[in-house]
Amino acid sequence: MSKSIERVEAVIRSFDLEVNVEHMPANTRTALEAAQAVGCEIGQIVKSLIFETKTGDLLLLLVSGKHTVDVKKFKLDWGIALNRADPQKVRSRTGFAIGGVAPIGHITSIDTWMDVALFSYSKVWAAAGAPNAVFAVTPDVLMEITRAKKFQPL
């Protein structure tokens, strides 16, 4: 098992959750692929999007698979300008490559925001540290284990 998946599973265990990392036969790198693999609506897929601030900090936005992020709105709402993060910086600070960033198990602490649309589902699916690994949780549990703030991406 990869170290990335082990870090995700360690966080799950630390919260005493009855959640399993599932290994899909197909790739789950995109929201559409993940929704097809697990048999859910695309909106139930949690996209873990990493952005960089002007100060060089990374921010993690957990976004419904049916949404994109309006960075101008985010700046208006939160006073933080967002830019695409450098892939090497993402890997060195999260331990994950872009396209496979899990919402938990990062090697450094990252401020996290969560799309309010995810709370309209009883269960959401997130990346678990590999292109074909996912886990399902309730939105409330995901918010708790990521210490996320709620936001509206659009």
Res 29 pLDDT > 90: no
pLDDT digits (tens, 9 = 90+) for 6-18: 999 999 999 999 9
pLDDT digits (tens, 9 = 90+) for 68-90: 999 999 999 999 999 999 999 99
Q: What is the value of pTM for the model shown?
A: 0.95
Q: How much is the pLDDT for 88?
A: 96
Whose structure tokens read 């060089």?
A: 56
128 vs 32: CA distance, rounded Å: 16
Q: Which domains does the chain have, with CATH numbers?
A: 3-149 (3.90.960.10)
Task: Count CA atoms closer than 13 A to 59's CA, side-chain side.
Answer: 22
Res 1 pLDDT > 80: no
Contact 82, 74 (CB under 8 A): yes
The amino acid present at 25, given as its one-letter code, is P
Q: Reduce the DSSP state of residue 71 to 3 states and report it.
A: helix
